[in-house]
Structure 1
Amino acid sequence: MIGRFASTVPLYAQFRPPYPAAFFRTVAERLGFSKQHALIDLGTGPGLLALGFAAYVGRIVGVDPEPAMIAAAREAPARAGQAFALIEGKAEQLPHDVGTFEVVTIGRALHWMDRTVIAAVFERLVAPHGVIVVCSARSAADGRNPWLDEYNAARQFWSGTDGSAHRRQDLAALLGGTRFGLAETIKVESNHEITPRDLAQRVLTFSTSSPAVLGDRAGAMLADVEQRMQRFSREGAITEIVVSKAEIARAT
């Protein structure tokens, strides 16, 4: 995983489907987060989840193996007025003295983790009565985003892959044989306006079509995707419906 996202860092937080404030509030209220709770965000990237939940918890730690993402995460709290500790490295290799946490969050990173190891990491990270919260924010794929099929076809064309190599791991299966079980799923829908140009930029945030991968083809990709998306826009904007989801695992 290290190095895959280095060239996506300036784009990731800006162009990926956003988590709305209502998502963090809903999850925090449903799960009873408090300032007495410590949170560790595995695969923190630029710190989107850690900062989103910052208002609802106390101590925060972010972990990521990509040095450029750690640098971005370090800058983000300074801009937001919220500090949290950062560890550069893989979640699977966290030292045993890192402590325990009432909340363990993971965003768009679980599928990169070693499933033969990460379950044991959860066993030692999660405090008694703690929770594992696996989050995602994706364009609704139920037909309400009429541009999405064309967009995914463009992504597949430029990346040369259908994305199946790194599909999201099934959390329930991953936790088999541990003290944890899938307890509930929380979903929050939101919508926002995005331009065809910004949707084209989003293609660069994926590891299979990053600036480093596309190289001198990036300009052609941006022009192609923007053109494909233009016919779905009205007055230069496209409505995107986003489904933000949190899968919650607890000790059984």
Structure 2
Amino acid sequence: MTERRPGTEWRWDETLFAGTAAHYLTGRMPYSPELVDALREELGLDGTGRLLDVGCGPGSLTLLLAPLFAEAIGVDPDPDMLTEASRRPGAANVRWHRARAEDLPAGLGVFRVVTFAQSFHWMDQPLVAARVRDHMLEPGGFWVHVGGTTHQGAATAGQPPWDSVDELVTRYLGPVRRAGQGHLPNGTRSGEEDVMRAAGFRGPTRLTLGGGRPVARTIDDVVASVFSTSGAAPHLFADRLPAFEADLRGLLASAAAGGRFTELTHDIEAVIWRLH
């Protein structure tokens, strides 16, 4: 099976998450610790082997799962994300490496588990799947997609006025979702399962970790949440950024009870693939 080289259908944009890293840890709700127990049991993880987390951002999933392995490596193309990751207290067995997923294997070796947490849709999927399959998974290894909405919670009383926030973003940036220097009129790409099967992976096995955990959020948290997304990255507002933030804070202040909101976490899903 041959690799497909990157072509005109996918072009990396280094500004995709520019300026978001500083807002990520405050703006995103953490993954449930139940994810650790679920993957340990399902994959038979025992503190040996190696983990590769591709598109790791500031290391939220990398650091959560690192204790299940002898070594963990987080890979991301954004230097600011890796700077934030390196500042976080974490396991001594973690290291960070700057690279695009399309640059793999990048001399990193082989791994028992390779994870993609809400990141695979930003990549040249057939190329990355082929590189991981051919060069980076040890025999019996696993590919794991981790998905879930973490920048905002499920609908509940007392949550931020997300519809009004979306309307405000639209007023400043236009009706079509922005993404780096381009737009996403149809949202991010789907079809990941077709890519995985075409690459020769078997599955998937799905693990769903229930949400519904209440999380208190301040106005600062919600502002950080907005700026942590590709569609409202700070650089997109250019010289209108101060005005947008002032309007956003005013909107949130008028809706917050005592300056706080309550959100319920969404379900988190781990989608596990194995090689034939």
Same fold judged by TM-score > 0.5?
A: yes
8 Å Cα contact 1:28-1:53 kept in structure 2: no
8 Å Cα contact 2:66-2:91 kept in structure 1: no
Change (3 A) 1:174 1:213: same
Q: Residues 144-189 of structure 1, C-alpha deviation per residue, up to 9 Å, x if partnerless?
A: 7573333333334344333645515332122132221322132231
Cα shift at 1:52? 0.8
Q: Residues 104-161 of structure 1, C-alpha deviation per residue, up to 9 Å, x if partnerless?
A: 1111321110023112023122222222111233145566757333333333434433
Change (3 A) 1:93 1:237: same
Aligned to 2:194: 173
The 3-state SS of whatever aligns with 1:6 is coil
Aligned to 1:251: 275
Q: Which moved more, 1:15-24 or 1:33-42?
A: 15-24
What percentage of aligned pairs have identical amino acids? 27
Aligned to 2:9: none
**Among candidates 15, 31, 39, match of residue 19 of structure 1:** 31
Query: How many residue pairs are counted as aligned between the two chains?
Result: 250
Aligned to 1:115: 125
Distance in 1 (CA, whole Å) between partners of 2:23 and 2:169 is: 16
Unaligned stretches of 5+ residues in structure 1: none
Residue correspondence of structure 1 range 143-158 to structure 2 within 5 A:
147-158=161-172
Aligned to 1:126: 137
The 3-state SS of whatever aligns with 1:167 is coil
Aligned to 1:162: 177
Cα shift at 1:12? 1.3
Q: Residues 41-82 of structure 1, C-alpha deviation per residue, up to 9 Å, x if partnerless?
A: 001111111101112222111111112222222222xx2353
The 3-state SS of whatever aligns with 1:98 is coil
Unaligned stretches of 5+ residues in structure 2: 1-12, 179-183
Aligned to 2:7: none
Distance in 2 (CA, whole Å) between partners of 1:83 and 1:159 is: 42
Judging by fraction of residues, say which structure has more helix.
Answer: 1
| Counterpart code for 1:118 | V
The 3-state SS of whatever aligns with 2:46 is coil
Q: Which moved more, 1:12-21 or 1:159-168?
A: 159-168
Runs of 4+ in 1 over 6 A off after TM superposition: none
8 Å Cα contact 2:215-2:263 kept in structure 1: yes
Aligned to 2:242: 219
Aligned to 1:35: 47
Aligned to 1:82: 92
Cα shift at 1:212? 2.0
Change (3 A) 1:96 1:221: closer
Give TM-score, length-normalised by structure 1: 0.86
| Counterpart code for 2:223 | A
Distance in 1 (CA, whole Å) between partners of 2:73 and 2:170 is: 35
**Among candidates 96, 112, 120, match of residue 102 of structure 1:** 112
Residue correspondence of structure 1 range 164-243 to structure 2 within 5 A:
164=184, 166-167=187-188, 169-180=190-201, 181-189=203-211, 190-243=213-266
8 Å Cα contact 1:6-1:69 kept in structure 2: no
